[in-house]
Structure 1
């Protein structure tokens, strides 16, 4: 394989490259720069005289953050810090992960995307390729200041969370996801690149908005769309190497599955909405075995929603069951049912079903509603991925509690406003019998009898950063479905009895960098075993993985 500069970037685990410049947010440390270093770094006189240790600077910023009135104001404040000093920004994220993750990502990032054009500050953060750039993408890539990119997140803005087509305003998602790659797995901030493919928008509100920053034209659906995606992939791999990770993010159903199928064997890529969501959901379900006493294969699963997330979870769940029982995936799918907007997905509907639903069209009686399907199938677990708030109402939850001693209720739709039910509703309506998880965070719940529950958030941040780190550790050229299963399995193993005792299926966010390291080891090991690694296997894989993790609290001036 052709050697590229990107293949050596894993060695840049500290700020040891390039010329220091006060206007470079990756290298700039402001008042946290030792006074004796300011002269040779060229910033003497550009910052106040005091030296403020990074830990104290973080505390100062947290006080300001907590004084902001709304989550969106907090988001904008944090982004203003990232614009100036990435080290300070990531020190905040690492030291206060649980508190700031809901601001940096879900649920606040939804509001940030909706207001992206209005709050845009002109910051150099990511690249935008529109239909007008066709034929020039490889040349335009040279405008990006870093020549060492290992990790790209790309969106076309069509299906942003549960908010729909936001067009170029969806750029907040790749920016947020890559912030989590760094905060949760230590991918160096100088080596990440958010990308927006601007192919127009079908959101009339955007088109009429004078501040909207994208192409004001209907969304491209024809050959020009595919040509732009192809040109982007080929240009990215030519520029940064064949092992550059390219993560699909928030593409619409029309394109998400077919683009993943088209590129999964040609590039190091995966779709986080299909595969990452699946992995974190399956990880929680694997952990639930310790509470229900049931293995995956002993459950009957019913999904409310049959889009990218729903069928992605269902397919990985079937894969996990097939491994558990040593049976074909086709047989494992018989334990999994889907409900879409027209009712239960059945064989009688084959002619009208979208391709991604066909594998779960079972030979059962038709049901026109979720409640009918619950009565007919008596599932032990319901998975909400419909983006329809209130779908899991009091009657649904009571039915689940009636048919099961410990019903699994997973309200996974994002942001919080789209959740199928709240944690309080699930616990109250089932009298504390539910094992609940969600896509967005919910506060702990205490029932009238004093029982306290801390529900787990099935956040994709438990999965994709560790996968990216594992890919980096092995310089692997592919991400496979088995990688997603391994990540789910490792995640479930990180849940302790302390979490399980309060009904939580996920480890605390304070341990997320440790979780990412364990996932990375599994991913890197699998890459070596399957022949997609392009780097020699180190003697101590965990030690190697941890050596790659950027830590904002380490001295950036020490040569490594």
Structure 2
């Protein structure tokens, strides 16, 4: 209990039990008179918090309430979130976190996480030393340049890092003290933010070029010295930087990019599961992407590996994957194709989106544009025309940026679509059928990856681990969930899923000789023993 006493103990969010301190504890720790008479269990406290949260009139007000609860009582916050995952995750993360990031400076209450600015260059290791915890295992770092589908939000992007670390704790049981949100505040090119008198970030144009790269290098190197067992998760970096950092650090340090690899794995899992509904073999699928950013490119690269595991050659795998951008079908004669997308620019005549669907007849359509309403009625109806059960995955979030809504997808396909999305949607009643579409939430993937890396102390993260995570996630979808139209399990089972993914990650690490230290024979029990369970 950190040897805290009296008011200091009550005010420490990691140690306090608030009104749950027993009579004996109140005497022992100098708390008599500082608390009301009732000794309230964590269950009673949870009900009170839930009641107060539900009184709030908007999602952003609920977000503010939950953030304040985390500041006051860490264990109560995580108990509430774990026990009410489907209700609270959309408030702590997408879609509400998008609004929270836009308003971050205006709703700021108390500092969380670590901020590093260009003024800290040359001393970043020293700045990391100011963090109060020593055994950091998970670092979520962003520079806020491409927050969800909202663009450059500068230091307001810290809301993303804070939200993701909360999901590591709630969804996979990594101890809060082992998680660190980081904001590389290198400035912003968002003039509106820079002119906002309440903006809290470095109020200059973004650091670029060699100066920017050397600062990220210094940060990564400083982490290796200060927290040698830490996993670094890159989050919401602009596409060129996102891929560049994966190429630059992926083979040297334990790191990954959730927008690229986490999104890829959760999308691949959804496609795997869809095959149980459509009765198609994964190796026979043709897949089309709308969008050529980091999420789409990373998903295509993981799917190449998945097709390879299913027996296809590299060329055969690439030929199953097609891209469409704002100009239409991406073809080999297009001389402006991004380098990561070039392997998927095939020989074909140029055409628009709908005509591309009609000619190529993709089994699966994946949207990763950040642009709302791009899966129009014509697009959905064309997918239904070439498939008895079209698979449509609209990944973009927050909800206001999704390619189409669940209601639109089911209505325009006459109820035949297999639909999933990056943002949550309410169940849809179409004629006599009720659909409960699944959310392709990265929270199914990255927490389990982090738990697995923590369990085996792997010094690198590989595509094999993400393939194993995708396969494991797909296998956890029940027949009942599939019957309701979902290709993902209930979020209420996410800790169970994360535990299974962690076991699969450990097995992949051991197979590739990446694990450090002794791993017990009963992996499942070992992983469970590492998971934080917030109780008093």
Place the TM-score, normalised by the shorter chain, in its bin.
Answer: over 0.9
Which residue is equivalent to 2:278? 292
Shift of 1:328: 3.0
Which residue is equivalent to 1:361? 345
The superposition leaves residues 292-344 of structure 1 with CA deviations (integer Å, 9 ceiling, x where unpaired) of 1112221211111110001111111111111112x333320110001112221
3-state SS of 1:118 partner: coil
Structure 2 gaps of 5+ residues are none
3-state SS of 1:549 partner: coil
Pick from 192, 195, 198: which aligns with 1:208?
195
Which residue is equivalent to 2:493? 511
2:294 is the counterpart of 1:308: yes
Pick from 491, 502, 508: which aligns with 1:520?
502
Alpha-carbon distance in 2 for matches of 1:301, 1:42: 64
Structure with larger RCO (C-alpha < 8 A, sep 6+): 1
3-state SS of 1:437 partner: strand
Shift of 1:379: 1.2
2:173 is the counterpart of 1:186: yes
Moved more, 140-149 or 168-177: 140-149
- Superposition pairs of residues 415-454 of structure 1, within 5 angstroms: 415-448=398-431, 450-454=432-436
The superposition leaves residues 404-456 of structure 1 with CA deviations (integer Å, 9 ceiling, x where unpaired) of 100001111000000111111100111110000000000111112x1111101
Alpha-carbon distance in 1 for matches of 2:33, 2:179: 31
The superposition leaves residues 183-205 of structure 1 with CA deviations (integer Å, 9 ceiling, x where unpaired) of 00000011110000011111111
3-state SS of 2:105 partner: helix
2:342 is the counterpart of 1:338: no
Shift of 1:494: 0.2
Which residue is equivalent to 1:558? none
The superposition leaves residues 32-62 of structure 1 with CA deviations (integer Å, 9 ceiling, x where unpaired) of 2223113333444333232110011111111
2:66 is the counterpart of 1:78: yes
Which residue is equivalent to 1:12? none
Which residue is equivalent to 1:62? 50
Which residue is equivalent to 1:139? 126
Go from structure 1 to structure 2 and tell me whether the alpha carbon gap of 1:440 and 1:18 turns closer, same or farther (over 3 Å shift). Answer: farther
Which residue is equivalent to 1:473? 455
The superposition leaves residues 17-39 of structure 1 with CA deviations (integer Å, 9 ceiling, x where unpaired) of 67573332111221122231133
- Superposition pairs of residues 149-548 of structure 1, within 5 angstroms: 149-241=136-228, 243-325=229-311, 327-349=312-334, 351-367=335-351, 369-448=352-431, 450-548=432-530
Could you tell me the TM-score, scaled by structure 2's length? 0.97
Could you tell me the TM-score, scaled by structure 1's length? 0.93
3-state SS of 1:152 partner: strand
3-state SS of 1:119 partner: coil
Alpha-carbon distance in 2 for matches of 1:80, 1:27: 16
Pick from 90, 96, 114: which aligns with 2:78?
90
Alpha-carbon distance in 2 for matches of 1:285, 1:33: 49
The superposition leaves residues 177-231 of structure 1 with CA deviations (integer Å, 9 ceiling, x where unpaired) of 0100000000001111000001111111111111111111111111111111111
Alpha-carbon distance in 2 for matches of 1:212, 1:120: 10
Q: Figure out how many residues of one structure are paired with residues of the other and give that number.
A: 533
Alpha-carbon distance in 2 for matches of 1:150, 1:363: 46
Alpha-carbon distance in 1 for matches of 2:15, 2:223: 24
Q: Is the 8 A contact 1:297 1:335 kept in 2?
A: no
Alpha-carbon distance in 2 for matches of 1:235, 1:29: 35
